[in-house]
Homo-oligomer: A and B are copies of this chain.
């Protein structure tokens, strides 16, 4: 590893897989890798995508060996015949593949834990390039490999992101950090309830006066927005001053965007809401029409969600709204299922039914059909009921069916977040009074 330490100039990422050259499969592992490398002050110099054909795979590995010092290879470690990344690398560096009984044992155990016998084809995954170290893969059968040879480091990782990501994070990065002197510090702002141009306009004064060592990026998707500040530190003596400058700019942005910011880390809105629900010991129930269960799904994606999530109803039909949520038949008839009144009735009915602290309801038109001039696709009403009463909001979202579903749940989660913020302040004030 000492040889490489002096020469870290070029890091190359190679994604192996014919499907990644087609129109249907975007390559995403490199984005995750780049993010983690940036945190360690490292950058990729080249990214290459190649099919799993012998000749081309070997060519690409040869080219990478000539021009780069650290070479990541992702994919092609599976049990099938066209998984041949390690075979190709072994040929290029002229090493043998050596059978490792320990790895085989682990693979067999993995199958056995599900009551299955290991198919014969998986034996292939128990071979290691001569001289390589094993990188354990807790989420799949293919172990990774770390090979240093000829002053170069080759890092072989499995292609499925669910296996690739934790291995990069837990096994590869700690080793690479030792190799880097530079540092990048990032600050995150996660934002909802505001559009990209609004945010841009709002923080213009900060944006225009950024020092050269500070980069600001805005990433926008329907219903969710992220600002990333990247601070470059080239040497230790800059660290204190630059970090202070970063803190000042963070404060300014925070003041300008206020409670539109829901997190200062790259977290999801449901993670933030879940944490608040748990801290405040509040319970929640959902009643969804157009969002079709997505709100419940998002709220239950968080481990431990049974602590706060009690009940979710997907009342798609009018009968279900009437029967399960006691929405008056006449309200639906007079105002329509997509109306402020029905959103209110759904939330209030749910609060009574579910015996929870917060009851959220969504009714709207996800499209692409079902819209009309008076009630267009994307029109959504949301209700939030608690012991404080019922709030109702009207929104008009743009986008595809899935984007409208997402934005509706995002808005619902944000209403819950703002409600919980108030409760936090209240309980804070109460504590201050008591003490």
Interface of A toward B, CB cutoff 8 Å: 18-28, 30-32, 34-35, 38, 43-51, 56, 59-60, 63, 67, 78-82, 113-115, 119-122, 139, 160, 162, 196-198, 200-201, 207, 215, 217-222, 228, 266, 286, 288, 291-297, 299-301, 303-306, 309-317, 319-320, 324, 354, 366-370, 396, 398-403, 405
Q: Do B300 and A292 touch across chains, with their CB atoms under 8 A apart?
A: yes
The answer to whether B309 and A312 touch across the interface, beta carbons within 8 angstroms, is no
Contact of A49 with B51 at beta-carbon distance under 8 Å, contacts A286-B314, A312-B312, A398-B114 already known: no
Report, nearest first, the 10 A-B pairs whose CB atoms are least far apart.
A292-B300, A293-B296, A312-B314, A23-B35, A293-B293, A119-B197, A47-B49, A293-B297, A23-B34, A296-B314
| Highest count of chain B CB atoms <10 Å: which of A28, A45, A405 | A45
Contact sample, A vs B, 16 pairs, CB 8 Å cutoff: A21-B34, A21-B47, A22-B38, A23-B31, A23-B35, A24-B219, A79-B200, A114-B396, A114-B398, A291-B297, A292-B301, A293-B297, A293-B314, A303-B401, A311-B315, A311-B317
A312 to B121, CA, bound (A): 41
By a CB distance below 8 angstroms, the chain B residues around A80 are 196, 200, 218
Known: A121-B200, A312-B313. A301 touches B18 (CB 8 A): no
A56 engages B50 (CB within 8 Å): no
Across the interface, A217 reaches (CB within 8 A) one of B19, B31, B309, B320, namely B19
Find chain B residues with CB under 8 A from A207 CB. 81
Whether the pair B303, A367 counts as a contact (CB closer than 8 A) is yes
Separation of A51 and B200 alpha carbons in the complex (Å): 19
The docked-state distance in angstroms from the alpha carbon of A44 to that of B301 is: 38
Question: CB distance A26 to B28 under 8 Å?
Answer: yes
Closest Cβ of chain B: how far from A315's Cβ, in Å? 7
Contact B121 A201 (CB under 8 A): yes
B292 lies within 8 A of A296 (CB): yes
Cα distance A243–B109 when bound, in Å?
A: 43
Q: Is the CB of A316 within 8 A of B320?
A: no
CB A8 to nearest CB in B, in angstroms, measures 15
Query: Given A292-B301, A296-B292, is A60 in contact with B46 using a C-beta cutoff of 8 Å?
Result: yes
The answer to whether residues A217 and B44 also contact, given A23-B31, A197-B121 and a CB cut-off of 8 A, is no
Give the distance to chain B from A232, nearest Cβ to Cβ, in Å: 13
As for how many copies of this chain the complex holds, the number is 2
A34 and B22 contact, CB distance less than 8 A = yes
- Could you tell me the distance between the alpha carbons of A301 and B312 in the complex, rounded to whole angstroms? 17
Contacts of A160 in B (CB 8 A): 221
B residues in contact with A43, CB < 8 Å: 21-22
Given contacts A23-B31, A292-B305, A313-B314, 10 further A-B contacts (CB under 8 A): A18-B215, A26-B31, A46-B48, A48-B48, A78-B220, A119-B201, A162-B399, A293-B293, A296-B296, A303-B367
Please, which residue of chain B has its CB at the minimum distance from the CB of A115? Answer: B396
A50 touches B60 (CB 8 A): no
Report B-chain residues with C-beta under 8 Å of the C-beta of A218: 80
Contacts A78-B196, A303-B367 given; indicate if A219 touches B317 (C-beta within 8 A): no
Q: How far is the CB of A118 from chain B (nearest CB, A)?
A: 8
Expressed in whole angstroms, the Cα–Cα distance for A201 and B81 within the complex equals 11
Q: A24-B228, A48-B47, A80-B196 are in contact. Are A300 and B314 (CB under 8 A)?
A: yes
Kindly identify which residue among B24, B221, B320 contacts A266, using a CB–CB cutoff of 8 Å.
B24
| Chain B residues within an 8 Å CB radius of A309 | 292, 314, 316
